[in-house]
């Protein structure tokens, strides 16, 4: 049996896509990813999370390609944690971002890099979302965590990979607009509701080139896969830049409506391991192949009884509803 869906490079988002809603990777998905990797599938991850978190969440998954972390701020060798490339803010822009967040009374959490080590620098954690953000990292023993009484001093001597702050959902659009006005083209501003901290929107400020689209294309070139078919998998707005540069974009059914509208294929939800099931099989329960052709040896109507949930394919760019 042959199926060309596994050709080329595959880049997977984590939260809401590969991970379940409780931010875990199920045993089925873990074993499936290793089966794909062992078979030679070129596969890696592009996430808003750090390499430290990726390594923890994907423990036991035998990734060998570099990963895209912090939405493209770094391309990193996962085994060693060494950054192979970066798109980070200099001291002046980072200080301007701190000024803009202060005007919004939004507490910053900084991820900085001194050329050798990464640090996550935080203050009093006065709101529940910021407290959750730090506590989650503390729970898996993130070695980057540091209390920081003076964020301005911290950014003065380092590169800043990102500034994160949380604002109530009701004021999120106005806050993001104010930050974009203040920073102009010196930084990118992204705002998205945080599923793990209901009622709060997470705002990220980073280098304009710290986005997944540029990062995955550069990763493909550096890995010797430039020109190979690029298939990407994602569920949220920060995945749209890589959807824009991919040959094929796949989303789980739980994805944001704007992501679903850009998807070439829609799988079962993340809580049903839809993405890994799609990669491992990709046939509808009645035996019809999702791509509209029958690989050698596949008989319509004879799908395995424990096969994957349905995979719904859409014409390129077609809305999902």
Mean pLDDT, contiguous 10-residue spans, the chain (321 residues)? 74 97 94 93 97 97 98 97 97 98 98 96 97 95 96 96 97 97 97 91 97 97 94 97 97 96 95 94 45 35 33 34 25
CA 23-245-258 angle, 5° bins: 55
Q: Alpha helix locations (H) across the chain? A: 27-38, 51-57, 91-103, 128-139, 151-156, 172-183, 212-222, 240-245, 257-262, 274-280
Tell me which residue of 110, 161, 105, 102 sits closest to 133, measured CA to CA: 110
What is residue 261's predicted lDDT score, i.e. its pLDDT? 96
Phi, psi angle pair for 283, to nearest 5°: -110, 145
The answer to whether 256 and 266 have CB atoms below 8 angstroms apart is no
Distance, in Å, from the CA atom of 272 to the CA atom of 186, rounded to the nearest integer, reads: 40
The residues with which 231 forms a beta bridge, in sequence order, are: 10, 248
| pLDDT digits 0-9 by tens, 248-275 | 999 999 999 999 999 999 999 999 999 9
What is residue 4's predicted lDDT score, i.e. its pLDDT? 74
Distance, in Å, from the CA atom of 132 to the CA atom of 14, rounded to the nearest integer, reads: 18
What is residue 281's predicted lDDT score, i.e. its pLDDT? 78
Question: 3-class SS at 32?
Answer: helix
| pLDDT digits 0-9 by tens, 80-97 | 999 999 999 999 999 999
The residues with which 85 forms a beta bridge, in sequence order, are: 75
What is residue 10's predicted lDDT score, i.e. its pLDDT? 97
What is residue 129's predicted lDDT score, i.e. its pLDDT? 97
The burial of 33, by beta-carbon neighbours within 10 Å (0-12 exposed, 13-18 middle, 19 or more buried), is given as: buried
Beta-sheet strand order (sheet of 67-69): 67-69, 74-76, 83-86
What is residue 5's predicted lDDT score, i.e. its pLDDT? 76
What is residue 321's predicted lDDT score, i.e. its pLDDT? 25
Distance, in Å, from the CA atom of 10 to the CA atom of 232, rounded to the nearest integer, reads: 6
Q: Are strands 118-122 and 109-113 parallel, antiparallel or unpaired?
A: antiparallel
Position of tokens 């004879």? 302
What is residue 283's predicted lDDT score, i.e. its pLDDT? 40
Position of tokens 């809305």? 319
Q: Half-sphere exposure of 95 toward its Cβ, with a 13 Å CA cutoff?
A: 11
Distance, in Å, from the CA atom of 219 to the CA atom of 75, rounded to the nearest integer, reads: 7
Question: 3-class SS at 302?
Answer: coil
Q: Half-sphere exposure of 21 toward its Cβ, with a 13 Å CA cutoff?
A: 9
């Amino acid at each position: 049996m042959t199926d060309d869906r596994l050709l080329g490079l595959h880049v997977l988002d984590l939260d809401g896509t590969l991970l379940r809603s409780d931010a875990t990777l199920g045993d089925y998905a873990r074993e499936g990813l290793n089966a794909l990797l062992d078979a030679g599938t070129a596969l890696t991850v592009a996430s808003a999370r750090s390499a430290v978190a990726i390594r923890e969440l994907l423990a036991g998954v035998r990734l060998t390609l570099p990963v895209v972390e912090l939405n493209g701020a770094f391309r990193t060798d996962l085994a060693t944690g060494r950054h192979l490339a970066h798109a980070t803010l200099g001291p002046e822009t980072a200080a301007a971002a701190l000024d803009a967040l202060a005007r919004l009374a939004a507490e910053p959490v900084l991820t900085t890099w001194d050329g050798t080590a990464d640090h996550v620098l935080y203050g009093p954690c006065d709101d529940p979302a910021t407290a959750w953000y730090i506590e989650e990292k503390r729970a898996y023993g993130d070695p980057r965590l540091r209390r920081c009484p003076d964020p301005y001093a911290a950014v003065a001597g380092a590169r800043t990979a990102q500034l994160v702050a949380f604002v109530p959902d009701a004021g999120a659009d106005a806050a993001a607009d104010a930050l974009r006005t203040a920073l102009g083209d010196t930084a990118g501003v992204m705002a998205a509701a945080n599923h793990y901290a209901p009622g709060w929107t997470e705002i990220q400020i980073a280098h304009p080139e710290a986005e997944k689209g540029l990062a995955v294309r550069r990763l493909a070139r550096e890995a010797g896969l430039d020109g190979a078919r690029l298939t990407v998998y994602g569920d949220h707005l920060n995945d749209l830049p890589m959807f824009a540069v991919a040959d094929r974009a796949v989303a789980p059914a739980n994805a944001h409506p704007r992501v679903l509208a850009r998807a070439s294929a829609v799988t079962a939800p993340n809580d049903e391991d839809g993405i890994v099931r799609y990669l491992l099989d990709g046939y509808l329960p009645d035996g019809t192949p999702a791509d509209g052709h029958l690989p050698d040896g596949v008989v319509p109507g004879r799908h395995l009884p424990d096969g994957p949930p349905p995979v719904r394919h859409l014409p390129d760019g077609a809305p999902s509803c």
